[in-house]
């Protein structure tokens, strides 16, 4: 089941700008030990726009090999060019991934017909579950409930990562797509309520820093334990917010480096956060109890 607490994993780099596979392995092992249900490899938090196609495939391959069946692996296969999305899907189809996560095409603002054709092409490229990813704040196009309902008829389109922050979409999507269609929050600040409204899980940026707490929060919320879920979420609310004080994944990589888990290396055009942002992120880490 592609449900529960999932981490949108960062991609660590070396000083020379290469993928740091040693640190990648350490992060995967940490998530396995902390109870994370699935890893999303090379999504937008994994800096997919700055990785070559070969690197993209290699990171997913390494993630699957390191995980070795101990945790589910979801591979990002999105692009704003349908041919690229199809090619990535085909290249990763034999790696052993449990599902693909396909972000809506960004920048070129496709029409309704274009969105439907894009997702159909990617879904038909491999007989592996596909999760739609709707994040109009970054892509400038929105997957409407009606479009999702149409795409849900494709046998291997099994769910959606919904990152609008609009928790009313949970009921709308359930009504339109049925209870078997998987609803995942892609918005940490509203994830707790999303789950309490009937969501099936979260693909979380904050889980990079607090995997055990996010796992407990998700489990409590899915059981309908509002008080417990909100109590677990409360210390993280400031952190949820500050991890988006600058473009993701800049803040989360800086925070992970501040905790000593990775080296603070990005690929241009991403750079270190501004000093004021660093102070805000550090304060949020302190208030969440992650930095003493």
- Lookup: tokens for 153: 């008829």
| Residue with token string 């994994």 | 46
Q: 33, 109, 153, 161: which one is catalytic?
A: 161
Q: Is 177 left (phi over 0), alpha (psi -120 to 50) or beta?
A: alpha
Residues 6+ apart with CB under 8 A from 104: 78, 115, 132, 133, 134, 135, 136, 139, 141, 142, 143
Cβ 161 vs Cβ 186: under 8 Å: yes
Q: Is 133 a catalytic residue?
A: yes
Phi, psi of 170 (to 5 degrees): -60, -55
| Residue with token string 């409407």 | 144
SS3 138: helix
| Residue with token string 């241009």 | 268
Angle between helices 53-67 and 21-34 (to 10 degrees): 40
Q: 106, 133, 215, 253: which one is catalytic?
A: 133
Q: Is 161 a catalytic residue?
A: yes
262 is in an annotated binding site: no
Cβ 42 vs Cβ 76: under 8 Å: yes
Cβ 255 vs Cβ 209: under 8 Å: yes
Phi, psi of 51 (to 5 degrees): -95, 140
Q: Is 19 exposed, middle or buried (0-12, 13-18, 19+ CB in 10 A)?
A: buried
271 is in an annotated binding site: no
Q: How far apart are CA 89 and CA 101, in angstroms?
A: 10
DSSP 123-168: HTTSSS-EEEEE-HHHHS----HHHHHHHTTSTTEEEEEE-S--TT
Q: Residues within the annotated binding site?
A: 45, 203
Q: Please give the positions annotated as active site.
A: 133, 161
Binding site members for pyruvate: 45, 203
């Amino acid at each position: 089941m592609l449900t529960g607490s999932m981490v949108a994993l960062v991609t660590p780099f070396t000083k020379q700008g290469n993928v740091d596979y040693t640190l990648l392995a350490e992060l995967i092992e940490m998530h396995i030990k902390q109870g994370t249900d699935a890893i999303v490899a090379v999504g937008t938090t994994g800096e997919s726009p700055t990785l070559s196609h070969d690197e993209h495939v290699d990171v997913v391959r390494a993630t699957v090999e390191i995980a070795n069946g101990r945790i589910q692996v979801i591979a990002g296969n999105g692009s704003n060019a349908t041919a690229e999305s199809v090619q990535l899907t085909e290249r990763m189809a034999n790696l052993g991934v449990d599902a693909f996560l396909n972000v809506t095409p960004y920048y070129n603002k496709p029409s309704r017909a274009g969105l439907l054709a894009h997702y159909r092409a990617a879904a038909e490229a491999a007989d592996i579950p596909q999760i739609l990813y709707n994040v109009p704040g970054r892509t400038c196009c929105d997957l409407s409930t009606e479009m999702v309902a149409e795409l849900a008829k494709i046998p291997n389109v099994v769910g959606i990562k919904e990152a609008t922050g609009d928790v009313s979409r949970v009921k709308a999507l359930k009504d339109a797509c049925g209870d078997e269609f998987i609803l995942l929050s892609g918005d940490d600040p509203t994830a707790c309520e999303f789950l309490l409204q009937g969501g099936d899980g979260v693909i979380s940026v904050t889980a990079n820093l607090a995997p055990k707490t996010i796992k407990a929060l998700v489990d409590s919320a899915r059981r309908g334990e509002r008080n417990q879920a909100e109590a677990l979420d409360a210390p993280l609310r400031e952190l949820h917010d500050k991890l988006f004080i600058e473009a993701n994944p800049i803040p989360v990589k800086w925070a992970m480096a501040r905790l000593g888990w990775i080296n603070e290396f990005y690929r241009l055009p991403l750079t270190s956060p501004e000093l004021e942002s660093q102070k805000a992120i550090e304060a949020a880490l302190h208030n969440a109890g992650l930095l003493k």
